[in-house]
Amino acid sequence: MNSIESLKLDFNSQIEDLGNIQNEKMFDECIYVGSGDSFVAGLIAEYLTQKCKCYSPSDLINSKLLEGKTYCFISVTGKTKANIELARRVKESGLKTAAITANENSKLAQVCDQVVPLNITKVKTPTAGFRTFVANVITCLQLLGIDIPNKFEYWHMNATQHSLKLSESLKLPDDTVHIMGNNVLYPISLYASFQMTEFFGTTAVAHKMEEFCHSPIFGLKKTHHVWVLGQKEEHIYKRISKLAGRQISYFELYNEDIVSQIFESLFFVQNLILLLAKKYGYTELRYTVMKDVLKVSSDIIYSDEATC
């Protein structure tokens, strides 16, 4: 089975597991720490609940720690060097630590005071996988006391139908794609940018809409694409689309229920990427065949000897 087929299986079968994730409230407020997709999961919790802040470990490694806060590290593997180093520093400072991880025997789990196991069936995929990411989002929200109704099958169906309609006219960017979203759709834009890069090797940059207009808009070239993840913000799309020659797409993701909006949007992004891969004949994630780049990336993220 090739890497994209494995992720398609992961996408289609994840709803069987997601509704079984149950975690009791653990924090009134906390600091979530994570990198990559894990950072996005914590950032979604920050935007939705306003009960936590989310940072990359590199943001905090030399920063003053906040007294009275629990630092909760999100890491599927529990092997990310920066997370482990920061968790040790936090614990040595006398503050509470917790780890959300699928690897309860990892170095991160051993360092932290508490471990929240990521209770999800792992499908063999080249990345952490779609279901593991969504499980991280669910877990981060539940630990803050947010109830997640078991509507995953319904959200998955809506997102699949929505993405199927829009993918027919959508082109895979040859150059850079700017992906924009406001509020909780900003971290989802960031997630979409990671997926575009991993699947296709595309340069993908996430922006908040107004921030895009402060500066990046002036670097927009005719070869660039713009994706707007909108919440009744089609007027912004229309203004940007007046820039002749640019390829601009608008995806309406508004839902009056914010929890439904989050999970439908995540499933939408996942399936849209899979549909683009099928449309353009991709069978392997681009990053998995970039062996030299992958080695440098892994060395920096996981090696004790690498430095940034």
Question: What is the tens place of the pLDDT at every residue in 1-30?
Answer: 899 999 999 999 999 899 999 999 999 999
CA distance from start to end of the chain: 35
User: What is the mean pLDDT of the segment spanning 118-129?
Assistant: 76
The DSSP code sequence of 18-35 is HTT-------SSEEEEE-
Q: Both tokens of residue 180?
A: 């924009």
Band of residue 245 on the pLDDT scale cut at 50, 70, 90? low
Mind listing the pLDDT tens digit for each residue in 137-176? 999 999 999 999 999 999 999 999 999 999 999 999 989 9
The predicted pLDDT at position 10 comes to 94
Q: Is the dihedral of CA 72, 74, 76, 80 positive or negative?
A: negative
Domain 3-142 has CATH 3.40.50.620: no
pLDDT digits (tens, 9 = 90+) for 172-229: 998 999 999 999 999 999 999 999 999 999 999 999 999 999 999 999 998 999 999 9
Residues of the chain with CATH 3.40.50.10490: 3-142, 152-288
Of 38, 81, 33, 61, residue with least CA distance to 307: 81
Picking from 63-72, 84-93, 233-242, which range would have the lowest pLDDT averaged per residue?
233-242
* Nearest by Cα to 71 from 103, 114, 107, 35: 114
Q: What are φ and ψ of residue 32, in 5° steps?
A: -90, 140
Residue 269 to residue 166: CA distance in whole angstroms = 11
Q: Which pLDDT value is given to residue 305?
A: 41
Which residues is 74 bridged to in the sheet? 34, 100
Mean pLDDT for all residues in the chain: 93
Tell me if 78 sits within 8 A of 144, measured CB to CB: no
Question: Domain 152-288 adopts which CATH fold?
Answer: Rossmann fold (3.40.50)
> Does the pLDDT of residue 48 top 70, yes or no?
yes
Q: Are 117 and 226 in contact (CB under 8 A)?
A: no
- When pLDDT is averaged across residues 105-114 and rounded to a whole number, the result is 96
Do residues 45 and 163 touch, judged by C-beta distance below 8 A? no
C-alpha 292/C-alpha 120 separation (Å) is 31
Confidence tier at 307 by pLDDT (50, 70, 90): very low
